[in-house]
Amino acid sequence: MTLTDWLVDIALILIVFRQLREGRLGPRSYLLPLGIVGFFASQYLDGLPTEGNDLVLIGATVGVGATLGIAGGVFTRIRSLNGDLMIKAGAVSAVLWVLGMGARLAFQLWVDHGGADDVARFSVEHRITSQQAWVTALLLMAVAEVVTRLATIFVRSRMVARTTLPATPAVPLAGRVR
């Protein structure tokens, strides 16, 4: 792992800690995590391996990432305060986020420090054809977790905003222009 790998992984893990304190839900809430995974994807995503069972591996990890992301978004508190939407990651949301992002980091550390032979053996037994399949699977797992968490938060924030907006006063018929 390079210094960049460490920084990106740690930044992804720390994002949720920023949300443990309630703050305003705004563009930065969406753009920061998307920017980090976008940078990570631009550095490491090199095509989509499709040989053997590569797509099964990728699909499984994307499914895990999406599940963690949706659950994390569901367990994030969103409320309206003086016309602003406020967001706060709860304990469950934080644990799910750290579990997903931390699992990737732990896997990378394990492979770099003695687990490579086990991964190679597993890959041969299950027809995973390359190291790039693992890189792609773990990267897309992170992307899926980030995107589905943010999508869940976005949908929930729209629901909160809709239920807290003041009703528009009706315009009497006499006041309408014909």
Better-scored residue on pLDDT, 171 or 15: 15
pLDDT digits (tens, 9 = 90+) for 43-94: 888 888 989 999 999 999 999 999 999 999 999 999 999 889 999 988 899 8
68 close to 95: Cβ distance less than 8 angstroms: no
The CA distance from 89 to 87, in Å, is: 7
The answer for residues whose C-beta is within 8 angstroms of residue 86's C-beta and 6 or more apart is: 22, 23, 24, 25, 77, 78, 79, 80
For residue 8, give the H/E element and its range.
helix 3-18
In the prediction, which pLDDT does 101 show? 82
Q: Domain extents for the chain?
A: 3-165
- Average pLDDT score over residue span 169-175: 53
